[in-house]
A and B are shown apart, each in its own frame.
Chain A
Amino acid sequence: MLKRTALYEEHKKLGGRLIDFGGWELPVQYQGVMDEHLGCRNAVGLFDVSHMGEIHVEGAASEAFLNYLISNNVAKLAVKQALYSEMCNHTGGIVDDLLVYRRSTDRFLVVVNASNTDKDFAHIQKIEKEFKQKNPGATDLRITNESSKYTQIAVQGRHAEKIVQTMTKTNLSAIKYYWFDEGTVLNGIPAVIARTGYTGEDGFELYVPWDRGPEVWRACLEAGKPYGITPVGLGARDTLRLEMKFPLYGHELSDETNPFAAGVGWVVKLDKGDFVGRAPIVAAKEKGLPKQLVGLKLLERGVPRQGYEVYSADGKKNLGQITSGTQSPSLKAAIGLAYVDKDHAKIGTKLTVDIRGTKTAAEVIPTPFYKRPY
């Protein structure tokens, strides 16, 4: 039996085409991936991301614990600030990537990928045991999986602030990128209102109680009408993130991926003290990482897809594989991400991608592929 978000009936009403996404019944598209993608880029898009996992980490030891659990530095996080991080395993691979929201000195909201929620929670509990053994004094620590209690709605695009502002008294213009506030929306519905997202546009992610989701969703659609709001399914969510080179677990990230190879070394803080995976990450980095994640564009017709092999320009030397690819609606070009040998990772390097037996010319280009114009 597939899990459904609180917004299931809303998706059906909007004509969403529902698919199985990591055990969740969610819309891959409503009107069409292209229109939804461009709707978000050029106006504003509305996303149901309630399938994401929400984990509460609370107690006096929570900051120290999180700093041991993840690669980024939670000690530098102010109250009402959010950060992006990798959560690594003991071999230096990536268990998942996640967001941490600091709600108070000792209360954190950790948001993880939907399909990884159970795996992540098990990993976190394992690390919790380890942490408590190493720090016998760290007894005040409560970790709970609260995923089923939240509806998460993302409003993304240049008009997002105007739309969400009609629904809350919280002053949104005061919330900077990767900060949040806690207030209410509509008639007193408690909400975490965060200026975060996965599209490369300005926008907000709203965390509200599960059962209040439908009224918040409908209010967003109503308030967004004058701005041409578009409900956006998983299809365009993926193409939007890909244009930004935001990595996705199962594509760019895996249990074997070194964060520095994936281009997310900027969230690995080697100077903050020990954390899970630190030693092997450093060792691999010092030894030299054989492959690097690059963005590429096809110079001939075709679309790169996950798993396609990448070769040198003359087609002779295998360099690696595509991890994500699509026809980019914003660039009107076929783009992809690939792990390739380090000596072929420079911007401007000519490569080929094996598309069903045809070596198709490509070039390493700067990322993100898309930059918002405002």
Chain B
Amino acid sequence: MKKSGAEILMESLKAQGVDTIFGYPGGAALPIYDALYDTDINHYLTRHEQGAAHAADGYARASGKPGVCLATSGPGATNLVTGIANAYMDSIPMVAFTGQVATSLLGKDSFQEADITGITLPVTKHNYMVKDVNDLSKIVKEAFHIATTGRPGPVLVDIPKDVSSTVAAYEDPGPVLLPGYSPAFKPDPKQVSRAARAIVEAERPVIYAGGGVVSSGAHEELKELAETLLMPVATTLMGLGGFPGDHPLSVGMLGMHGSKYANYAISDCDLLVAVGVRFDDRVTGKLESFAPNAQVIHIDIDQAEIGKNVRVDFPVAGDVRLCLREIMKQLEPKVESAWNGTINKWKKEYPLGYVDNGRIKPQQVIQEICTATKGQARIATEVGQHQMWAAQYYTFNRPRSFISSGGLGTMGFGFPAAIGVQVACPEETVFDIAGDGSFQMNIQELATVVNYKLPVKVAILNNGYLGMVRQWQELFYNRRYSYTEMSNPEFSKVAEAYGAVGIKITTPSEVRPAIEHALSVDEPVVMDFITDPEENVLPMVPPGEAINKMLG
């Protein structure tokens, strides 16, 4: 049957099970939007293409399904770039479609032309420009295959306007044939045996678990491994929720703003079991002093991560879930050891904490949100101090409940991401924990949540500063607060102007009632918490230091 390129695209999307798209129309995308108009795909119109990319990313993080975003050529496409880079750094499955000028106009600096495949080359897992309509269905199928298999990541498909308009026969493209791409594999039995033996022989093992646990769905396997061997588990920011935060074996987050006991455990262990992680500098601090006495097992689906930053004694390459299952087969339960006693002693001695002083403490707000939602909400965050407090003070007990920009550290991510999360999980409570700086980077999406009646709850921890930068200026730049003080609008009134509920909270006693009220209404709510302006995120590993040398 003959169809236009745009109609073939719609068929191809349906074949992939796509029912939700976040996007923004424009000239070169007109044929695509025209075809979209006749389908039952739910399209969410964000108010900026960056919002569409982050919403698709948040949708993918919450659901595990690939997120799909759509924009026009030129500025539409370049506005997606931050969102694509963000998904790339955190290995999120996403397929971005962009309109492009007609093939006859390519390379001529035409109106709204941008070389988006060139621009996104270093921030996509792969990308395509479709130059022949007959390749379109095959390319769409490949794009979803690449985005979702192996180590997930974003794939961009650029479609010139004449390609989306040209009529061609639509055929099922058949199986994907990519000779250079062979993802998701089972671990080598020899690697598994060596790793298992190392675990059996270790006296002071620690699990260091990251986003790979969440993306491979290995949280049950991880729990079983930890419980069988009674190994303490430290998670990265991306790994939060991959292991229950309230589990007795959990030592919380490690790294720059990790708990002291997590960092002490890593520094003292004799075996580091690294699962679905990439030894990021925000985790390791000074590399030479990271787990200095330990042998290292590194389990990851991406071979290139193994040995990239640290020397690995026992590599296990493969899908984390399959690897953990195979390793478990060779392990026997262990009894509690002196090591468990040491960890528990540290947990008692060095708890997270803050000092009350009559003002609203940001940590208190997070704790109150955690209590009010019984730890069951999906929490998106922006980037900065509030993000670290959310990671420290909300207890994440299930995977895909903490939605945060880890690798790229994108301010403005949280609110549009929360839109994607709410779309993916319509029955659940979704928060965006924000700072006053970050929230203003995609504040226009208030129109989107009101438009689609998405009851996202925004909690702004408003300290009138770019708080994390100010903290570094305070600690390492002699309190010279260069351009980090912000004069802000009345966020509650901005929210009301958009048609959302706005609440301003200025005293500690109002915190809980405000949260309760926000939860009681089935509408988007913006809570503006005026917090202690110079509160710092502690503990903190100073940059370039060993992770057991913490401030606070």
> Do A and B associate with each other?
no
